[in-house]
Amino acid sequence: MQVHDSRQRYCLGIEATADDFSVGILGFDGKVLANIIDVFLSETGGIHPREAARHHAEVAGTVVSRAFQQAGITPKDVTIVAFSQGPGLGPCLRTGATVARALAAYLSVPLVGVNHSVAHIEIGKLKTGARDPVALYVSGGNTIVAAFECGRYRVFGETLDIALGNCLDVFAREAGLRHRRGMPFGAALEQLAAKGEKLIALPYTVKGMDLSLSGLLTAAVTLLRKGECKLEDLCYSLQENAFSMVTEVTERALAHTEKKEVLLTGGVAANKRLQTMLKAIAEEHDARFSVVPREFATDNGAMIAWTGVLAYRHGVVTPVEESFVKLRWRLDRVDVPWLK
Ligand code: AMP
Ligand code: MG
């Protein structure tokens, strides 16, 4: 329980782009008072958008109450409500937006629509002290190398097909691993990969500054089904290839921009092997490496609340009639007036 400060202003942030429904409460000074995450777990481990949205609607009331309880403030203390407006899965986004609109209207406070990808970078900066990094944002739905240039985060490289987290998750599911609370597929795969010894040849596809992971996934699944390789070796080889690809693109963005920081963010940032690879290239370029803390790596409401505060302080509010969700809202389409 936190001690309520009556001079402080607070933002409540709602995240619901995919499988997580999360509510964060944060002071305008950046102090996180609450960050409750309720993840949708299906039988198969996949995300069916409408089933995930139903989960979000069912847990929303409880998650909001738990967030207030953890924060030690009451609803009337909230100054603004922020929500993830995109990109993401339509039914999930709409559920989050509906909860946000209802809360903002009930509390008579402004609504701020936040870009989910920008939020992953901003929470990474807040939590690590990075100021102007080349960011590698890797999650279940996104794989982007970005850095701030001329008023916006610019995309220097990205996946041409599936996201890194998705690649790991699909392989893990094929291999019969279980997705459990506190142990996502990627983490289960990481444990097996640590026991791998033999590097198996798999496709490595970097095209210019972009990369492709679907060929790698198909080849790994094909070998898995043949049953001739040890699962540990396959997990190890899949990780080595996929992580080398994103590291190569990040290194080139670093060389091009001559920035002095590398930030790793998004759910896959929890992976120790990926952290090691990125740290190595950062050091080679005399850049500081930082990684978002685990609690803020996966989708979370605190990152939405923080980005809402940054935007609101620079005059951004989202009228209800403009609060429709944007399923493909690209990172490089968002003005970030709080950065110079
Ligand atoms: P997000 O989409 O940001 O909520 O992050 C979820 C993604 O992060 C999923 O694809 C997870 O499998 C992945 N993930 C979580 N922990 C790890 C880990 N230790 N290693 C690799 N991937 C992970
Ligand atoms: Mg998620």
Tell me what percent of the residues of the chain surpass a pLDDT of 90: 94
Cβ 184 under 6 angstroms from ligand 1: yes
Look at the pTM and tell me if it is higher than 0.75: yes
Average of pLDDT values for 135-152? 97
* C-alpha torsion sign, points 30, 31, 33, 37: positive
Cβ 27 under 6 angstroms from ligand 1: no
Taking the centre of ligand 2 as the mean of its atom positions, its distance from the CA of residue 213, in whole angstroms, is 19
Cβ 185 under 6 angstroms from ligand 1: yes
Cβ 163 under 6 angstroms from ligand 1: no
Contact 11, 309 (CB under 8 A): yes
pLDDT of residue 1: 45
Average pLDDT, the chain: 96
pLDDT band for position 241 (50/70/90)? very high
Per-residue pLDDT tens digits for 223-240: 999 999 999 999 999 999
pLDDT of residue 42: 84
Average of pLDDT values for 113-128? 98
Task: Reduce the secondary structure of 240-262 to three states and give it as a string.
Answer: HHHHHHHHHHHHHHHHHHCCCEE
Average of pLDDT values for 10-27? 98
pLDDT beyond 60 at 2: no
pLDDT band for position 35 (50/70/90)? very high
Average of pLDDT values for 78-106? 98
Cβ 165 under 6 angstroms from ligand 1: yes
pLDDT band for position 5 (50/70/90)? low
Task: Reduce the secondary structure of 269-323 to three states and give it as a string.
Answer: HHCHHHHHHHHHHHHHCCCEEEECCHHHCCCCHHHHHHHHHHHHHCCCCCCHHHC
pLDDT band for position 183 (50/70/90)? confident
pLDDT of residue 21: 98
Q: State the distance between the two ends of the chain, measured CA to CA, in whole angstroms.
A: 36
| Ligand 1 pocket test, candidate residues 236, 272, 298, 300, most atoms within 8 A of CB | 298
Average of pLDDT values for 74-100? 98
At residue 146, the 3 state secondary structure works out as: strand
Taking the centre of ligand 1 as the mean of its atom positions, its distance from the CA of residue 101, in whole angstroms, is 29
Comparing 41 with 270, which gets the higher pLDDT?
270
d(CA 100, CA 324): 11
Write b or e for each residue in 212-240: b if 16 or more Cβ atoms lie within 10 A of its Cβ, otherwise e.
bbbebbebbbebbeeeeeebbbbbbbbbb
Q: How far is CA 177 from CA 6, 138, 148, in A?
A: 48, 21, 38
Per-residue pLDDT tens digits for 205-217: 999 999 999 999 9
Atom number of ligand 1 nearest to Cα 299: 4
pLDDT of residue 51: 96
DSSP per residue, 81-138: EEEEEESS-HHHHHHHHHHHHHHHHHHT--EEEEEHHHHHHHHHHHHH--SS-EEEEE
pLDDT beyond 80 at 180: no
Strand (E) or helix (H) holding 167: helix 164-174
